[in-house]
């Protein structure tokens, strides 16, 4: 909640209210963002603007209604005194009006407010760009980018439509969550967690990098590369649309995550060395975690050959949940605690992926092949 919202009968544009509207500003600008938003909402209320979308909720206060719309990125207005104008976000217009007001009126906290305004000028522009393009920006479909390539012959129309749908839904969620974060914090998100849910729902859970159809290794790699290039290009275009001229950590992290995902899927099968007689101590294995010696050898061997989080997630889930009886006999947390005390290449610092997210055909093939070799030779 913004505690600086003004009452509906309080007009900060005129008279003594205008002179004193910055009295609440802290010297260090720590409350500058909230006060600026409250003043922006008051400016819309008394500046002669119509709101494009009225809330369906019941609000006792117009200021509260506008603030609710602001948090959702829905403040699009039109000046009633100007004909043939579109509904737009006008944060930059308000910024310019505030600059004029401060220089003309010389209010209390003038210098602090000017510093806040100038420090956030690019933010105001980017908020306008995000809101004004939210409903109108068009995403080129992945299928359109490959229609002249051989990939268009590999997938039928329904399969291409499904891939398009997943990608567009993912990019729409990226657009939404990045902008809402900007509105709330006056800066772009940097943490991958801001789009984790979207990535899991539309990329991982749909097995987007693993086409369900039968295709050659070369076709699969071409497909994965086309998806990687497509997402990278769309993210670059979003940066341009939002006038971001500096490195965007979140997008860079996402691109690297996709590159690593593809690389791991390309190399997993080739990493495995099918030695049938690894040397283990049959009398000294962690029997609190594994049903028997062979189960431990199987898991240990696979993890050392393919030390990636997605692969380890799959090995843990299939051995603990899908095998009957279970080959791993403890839950995720105690198992990860034990795992992290061993000398494996990676640490499991978060819960392993559920089976439906971790499984793919290559991992299944590797698992059952190695299991057969180990169980028949020990």
How many independent structural domains does the chain possess? 3
Whether 115 and 180 share a structural domain: no
201 inside domain: yes
Per-residue pLDDT at 244: 95
Same domain, 148 and 190: yes
pLDDT at 276: 47
Give the domain-ending residue among 132, 167, 194. Answer: 132
- Whether 174 and 219 map to the same domain: the answer is yes
Q: Are residues 83 and 147 in the same domain?
A: no
Can you give the pLDDT at residue 207? 84
**Would you say residue 10 lies in a domain?**
no
Return all residues near 48 (Cβ < 8 A) that are at least 6 apart: 79, 80, 81
Residue-averaged pLDDT of the chain: 88
User: Does residue 183 lie within any of the structural domains?
Assistant: yes
Neighbouring CB atoms inside 10 A of 186's CB total 18
Residue 58: per-residue pLDDT: 64
In a domain, 33, yes or no: yes
Shared-domain flag, residues 39 and 101? yes
Residues 44 and 72 reside in one and the same domain: yes
In a domain, 7, yes or no: no
Cα separation, 68 vs 64, whole angstroms? 6
Residues 96 and 161 in one domain: no
pLDDT digits (tens, 9 = 90+) for 285-315: 899 999 999 999 999 999 988 888 889 999 9
Cβ distance 181 to 193 under 8 Å? no
Is 279 within a domain?
A: no
pTM exceeds 0.75? no
Please compute, for residue 158, the number of CA atoms within 13 A of its CA located in the half-sphere on the CB side.
2
Is there a single domain that holds both residue 146 and residue 256? yes
Can you list the alpha helix ranges (DSSP code H) found in 186-275? Answer: 196-199, 217-241, 249-271
The answer on 188 and 241 residing in a single domain is yes
In a domain, 23, yes or no: yes
Q: Which two tokens stand for residue 145?
A: 């980018």
Residues of the chain with pLDDT under 70: 54-58, 84, 212, 264-280, 378
Say what the pLDDT of residue 266 is.
Answer: 54
In a domain, 103, yes or no: yes
Are 127 and 31 within one domain? yes
DSSP, collapsed to helix, strand or coil, labels residue 284 as coil
| Domain extent for 109 | 15-132
Q: Are residues 204 and 110 in the same domain?
A: no
| Among 204, 225, 182, residue whose Cα is nearest residue 72 | 182
Specify whether 64 is located in the same domain as 118. Answer: yes
């Amino acid at each position: 909640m913004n505690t600086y919202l003004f009452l509906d009968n309080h007009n900060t544009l005129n008279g003594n209210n205008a002179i004193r509207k910055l009295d609440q500003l802290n010297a260090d600008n720590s409350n500058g963002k909230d006060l600026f938003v409250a003043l922006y909402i008051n400016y819309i209320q008394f500046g002669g603007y119509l709101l494009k979308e009225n809330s369906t909720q019941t609000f006792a206060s117009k200021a509260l209604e506008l603030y609710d719309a602001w948090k959702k990125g829905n403040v699009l207005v039109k000046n009633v005194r100007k004909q043939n104008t579109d509904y737009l976000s006008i944060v930059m217009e308000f910024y310019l009006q505030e600059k004029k007001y401060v220089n003309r009126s010389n209010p209390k906290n003038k210098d602090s407010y000017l510093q806040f305004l100038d420090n956030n000028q690019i933010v105001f522009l980017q908020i306008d760009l995000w809101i004004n393009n939210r409903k109108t920006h068009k995403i080129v479909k992945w299928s359109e980018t490959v229609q002249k390539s051989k990939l268009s012959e590999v997938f039928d129309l329904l399969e291409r439509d499904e891939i398009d749908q997943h990608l567009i839904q993912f990019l729409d969620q990226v657009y939404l969550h990045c902008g809402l974060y900007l509105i709330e914090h006056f800066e772009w998100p940097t943490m991958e967690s801001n789009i984790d849910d979207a990535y899991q729902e539309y990329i991982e859970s749909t097995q987007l990098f693993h086409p369900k159809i039968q295709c050659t290794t070369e076709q699969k790699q071409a497909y994965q590369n086309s998806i990687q290039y497509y997402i990278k290009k769309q993210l670059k275009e979003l940066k341009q649309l939002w006038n971001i001229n500096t490195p965007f950590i979140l997008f860079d992290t996402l691109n690297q995550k996709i590159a690593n995902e593809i690389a791991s899927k390309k190399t997993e099968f080739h990493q495995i060395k099918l030695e049938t007689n690894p040397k283990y101590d049959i009398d000294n294995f962690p029997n609190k975690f594994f049903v028997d010696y062979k189960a431990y050898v199987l898991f240990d061997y696979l993890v050392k050959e393919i030390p990636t989080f997605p692969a380890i997630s799959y090995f843990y889930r299939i051995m603990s949940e899908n095998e009957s009886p279970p080959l791993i006999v403890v839950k995720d947390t105690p198992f990860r605690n034990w795992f992290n005390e061993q000398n494996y290449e990676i640490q499991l610092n978060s819960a392993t992926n559920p089976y439906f997210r971790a499984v793919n055909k290559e991992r299944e093939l590797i698992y059952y092949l190695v299991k057969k070799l180990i169980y028949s030779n020990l």
